[in-house]
Amino acid sequence: MASRSLLQFLSGFSRPAVGNASLRLFSSTSVCRATLQTHNVIERAPSPWTLMAAVCLQRLPVISADCSPIEQQFRQMMHQMEQEKSLLSDHELQLLEDAERMSRKQADDYDSDREDDHGDQEIVLAQDLEDSWEQKMKSFQPALRVTADADQDLTSSERCLADSLVLLAEQQVGGEPLWLLPQARWQEGETLRQTAERALASLPAGLKATFLGNAPCGVYKFKLPQAARTESTVGTKVFFFKAVLSDCGGPPAGPGGPLLWAKKGELRRYLKPAYMTKVDRFVLGL
């Protein structure tokens, strides 16, 4: 219901008086309705560009990044300042009290009747509690932040957990294998996003992703060399769609083009320069 109303709100810019809209609302979102109508009347000339859609699949960081030197310094300083300004907590007060009581017990003129104690009840010292907590923490082994082997393995999506990785596939383009974002050719009757989804599904590894929206995030135009140009094809336009990896799935099933996960800095090594400049813009290295 909420998504429906969101749809209505977003698409009702030029038609504020839309009542109980049915699915027909999908087709009435045009900002320039006139051009659409003329398009329907005039036959569309086939464009000389072949359309392809590629998916920019990102694995977002799993652990927090290491602090830079200035960040470490600042963190230390803030910790000190906060400690200075703070008050003693209940636990710390209890510790002090216990220490005082122990020192009184050790003193020569100790009178146990004076103590307003709990009598026969066993007193649990706060220090003991603290020690038991420390023991528990030590017995728990968290997973390692950095595993050197996993970092080197380019095909595993577990490498470099602190950075966001982009999936690259080696595909045959014009006869030669090239490293690029997984792409597929557009077919009639499907939207570009569906093409991108098909491109992702065609990869051997069972990767599940959430596509972020219907609009492409970037485009790469590639003009074929003069020799290969024909009447109908001048070149290709590749539209990129962003997706976020939601599930790694099982181990890569079946052969296919090799895949690798690359950080933003490493993309330069694999992609062609012109392609790289276009891709660099929308792959955020934040």
Partner 1 sequence: MSAALSRGLCRALSRHTAPSSLLLGGHHRAGLSPWFAPVMTLKTSAPLRAEPKKKKKVDPRREHMLKERMRKKLKKMEKVAPEFIPLDDLITPTKCLDETRLERSAPRLSFGESEGRALLLKEWCRYKQEQHMAEVQAVELALEAQREALEELKLESEELYQAALKPDPLLFPFTHEGPAYTPPKSKYEAPDGKYNDITKVYTQ
The site map against partner 1 for 178-207 (x = CB under 8 A) is -------------xxx--------------
Parallel, antiparallel or unpaired: strands 49-59 and 235-247: parallel
What is the spatial distance between Cα 99 and Cα 92, in angstroms, rounded to a whole number? Answer: 11
What is the spatial distance between Cα 182 and Cα 204, in angstroms, rounded to a whole number? Answer: 11
Q: Does position 34 bind partner 1 by CB under 8 A?
A: no
User: Of the two residues 120 and 140, which places its CB atom closer to partner 1 in the complex?
Assistant: 140
The site map against partner 1 for 222-261 (x = CB under 8 A) is ---------------x-xx---x-----------------
The site map against partner 1 for 69-108 (x = CB under 8 A) is -xx-xx--x---x-xx-xxx----x--x------------
Mapped onto helix, strand or coil, the DSSP state of residue 221 is strand
Query: Least distance from C-beta 182 to partner 1, angstroms?
Result: 17
Query: Least distance from C-beta 194 to partner 1, angstroms?
Result: 9
**Which range of residues in 16-24, 45-53, 170-178, 222-230 is near partner 1 by CB under 8 A?**
45-53
Q: What residues contact 218, with CB distance under 8 A and at least 6 apart? A: 56, 239, 240, 278, 279, 281, 282
The residue within the footprint of partner 1, chosen from 142, 175, 251, 273 (CB under 8 A), is: 142
What is the spatial distance between Cα 135 and Cα 153, in angstroms, rounded to a whole number? Answer: 36
Q: Which residue has the tokens 């991108």?
A: 196
Question: Do the Cβ atoms of 244 and 60 come closer than 8 Å?
Answer: yes
Count other Cβ atoms within 10 Å, centred on residue 260: 19
User: Of the two residues 35 and 127, which places its CB atom closer to partner 1 in the complex?
Assistant: 35
- The token duo for 227 is 């020799």
CA proximity to 283, closest of 161, 128, 165? 165
Tell me which residues touch partner 1 (CB under 8 A): 2-4, 6-7, 10-11, 26, 29-30, 35-36, 39, 44, 47, 49, 51, 60-65, 70-71, 73-74, 77, 81, 83-84, 86-88, 93, 96, 142-145, 158, 161-162, 191-193, 210-219, 221, 237, 239-240, 244, 278, 281-282, 284-286
